Structure formats: structure tokens, C-alpha cells
Amino acid sequence: MRTTIDINEDLLREAGRLTSIKMKRKLVDTALQELVRQARLRRLAGMLGSTRLNLTQRSLRRMRSDG
């Protein structure tokens, strides 16, 4: 998809220097992928402790020996 956007040139230049990515499109794609990855990790971290598992020591031992 072709889109026209204004990007902070200083930020773009610093990101390119830090990552050694020279192409603007690749730099923006990489930044978006990282943003999505971090958001997914935050969502996953927010779910920690919210799931109830009915596991006992006995069932855990059984699962380990079955595997």
C-alpha cells in the first residue's frame, strides 16, 4: 500500500544509524513490526495470572512423564 507521511528526519536518521538499515521503507516496516511485537508482549504479560488452571502436583508429574 502506498501512503505519504511526514516522518521526523532526525528520528529516521538515528534509527537508521542504530540499526544499520539504510532504506526508509525497510526502516519503517521494521519499526512497525517491533511496535506490534511489543504490544503483543504487553498484552500477553497482562494476561499472566488471569487464567486459572486446575492442576495438582500429581497431574503435573503425570504430564511430565507422558511427554
Rounded to an integer, what distance in angstroms lies between the CA atom of residue 58 and that of residue 67?
A: 15
pLDDT (mean) for 51-66: 82
Looking at residue 67, its pLDDT comes to 55
User: Is 4's pLDDT higher than 60?
Assistant: yes
pLDDT (mean) for 47-58: 79
Looking at residue 61, its pLDDT comes to 86
Position 52, amino acid: R
How do residues 10-51 score in pLDDT, each as one tens digit? 999 999 999 999 999 999 999 999 999 999 999 888 877 777
